[in-house]
Chain A
Amino acid sequence: MSEDFEPKILAFCCKYCAYAAADLAGSMRLSYPPNVKVIQIPCTGRIDIVHILKAIEDGADGVYVAGCMEGDCHFVSGNLRARKRVEYVKKTLTELGIEPERVEIYNLSSAMGPRFAEIAHEMTDRIRKLGPTPVKTRTV
């Protein structure tokens, strides 16, 4: 695997927790890898299977969904639904011969700025180890 591989990672972050935690990480001057591109979502329950698949299809090396702690979802059960959808995508990727670890779901609260940075590091390290996505897009 090439040393200079810089993973492209997409993070769908719920605005009530993970996105606010990212903000907090910023205020705390915590650095996290620039590989992670954050997309704010109103709730992880908004994330559909197809959103994650589209990211993979378009060449993302990794995708994760970050929502509230279980039991703390602003919309009661959005994060639980998101977990099931992420599991579905993992199964689908396995069926397609792609490492399911490229997709993940995390739970954190808006007060967990350091955890946000830790997750970004964790995911970047994980994808770096896995190497570039086997899904080849023509534009890369």
Chain B
Amino acid sequence: MIVANRKSLSEILDMVKDCNKILVAGCKGCVTVCNVGGLKEVQVLASCLKIARKKDGGKPLEVEEILLERQCDPEYIEQVKDTVGNYDAVVSMACGVGPQFLSEAYPNQKFYPAVNTTFFGGAVAHGIWEERCAGCGTCIIHYFDGLCPIARCSKSLMNGPCGGSSHGKCEIAEDLDCIWDMIVKKKMAQGRLDDLRYLTPAKDWRTARDGGPRRSIREELTK
């Protein structure tokens, strides 16, 4: 899933400082799963914003809440068609896709992001998420037995490990596993260490963000 973190309350409060009435829009997709922009988080943010504005008798803020199925599909964006104009601004708790789809659909409204979208990953324990994929556009993890050196090596080395690998940890942080250490150990355990004699050539990054904004077209699905 896409993992995100909520922005600080002061940052969000600054975005809406001139507003009297806003809509906080959550998303039932990834941000619900990573507990950042689902139903509960929408309620919490709405309450925090109201508390902040009521504090010391400040200008009250009217906050309405909505939870969309997804904010990355036009049919769900359409759910707010009739009401989106009722607010001074809309704060989206979806990943960075949400406020953009909303902005494109409703050019007269202002949309603000309440979260920082951080990575593609999963929950390794309750409340802890880790990065697993960098979305490079050409998956190569079959060479590394299911472990991705692009997303998980700090230097995205294709032929690691580097000299900084120590006792299974990466040199950038004591609590970060060196993915190359894990790759090598797994190859040894499976008796396939020889695989690593192959020198992986430099990656063609054009399929990644380096090639510009990406688009995926599936002819069999288009109308």
| Chain A residues engaging chain B, CB cutoff 8 angstroms | 48-50, 53-54, 56-57, 92, 95-98, 134-138
Residues of chain A within 8 A (CB-CB) of B8 are 95
Number of interface residues of B (CB under 8 A): 16
Are A98 and B55 closer than 8 Å at their CB atoms? Answer: yes
Judged by a CB distance under 8 angstroms, whether B188 is at the interface is: no
Instruction: List 24 A–B pairs whose Cβ atoms lie within 8 Å, in order of A's numbering.
Output: A48-B40, A49-B40, A49-B44, A50-B40, A53-B51, A56-B51, A57-B50, A57-B51, A92-B48, A95-B9, A96-B9, A96-B48, A96-B52, A96-B55, A97-B55, A98-B51, A98-B55, A134-B55, A134-B56, A135-B51, A135-B54, A136-B54, A136-B55, A137-B54
- Chain B contact residues, majority secondary structure: helix
CA distance A96 to B8 in the complex (A): 10
Judged by a CB distance under 8 angstroms, whether B222 is at the interface is: no
Residues of chain A within 8 A (CB-CB) of B55 are 96-98, 134-136
Known: A54-B47, A92-B48, A96-B9. 9 other contacts (CB 8 A): A50-B43, A53-B44, A56-B51, A96-B51, A98-B51, A134-B56, A135-B51, A135-B54, A136-B54
Minimum Cβ distance to chain B for residue A103 (Å): 12
Q: Name which residue of chain A comes closest to B13, CB basis.
A: A96
Residues of chain A within 8 A (CB-CB) of B10 are 95
CA distance A57 to B52 in the complex (A): 9
Judged by a CB distance under 8 angstroms, whether B57 is at the interface is: yes
CA distance A96 to B11 in the complex (A): 11
Using known A-B contacts A95-B10, A136-B56, determine if residue A57 contacts B40 with beta carbons closer than 8 Å.
no
Residues of chain A within 8 A (CB-CB) of B57 are 136
Q: Name which residue of chain B comes closest to A92, CB basis.
A: B48
Are B56 and A53 closer than 8 Å at their CB atoms? Answer: no
CA distance A57 to B43 in the complex (A): 12
Q: Name which residue of chain A comes closest to B10, CB basis.
A: A95
Which chain B residues (66-108) contact chain A, with CB distance < 8 Å?
none
Q: Name which residue of chain B comes closest to A95, CB basis.
A: B9
Q: Name which residue of chain A comes closest to B9, CB basis.
A: A95
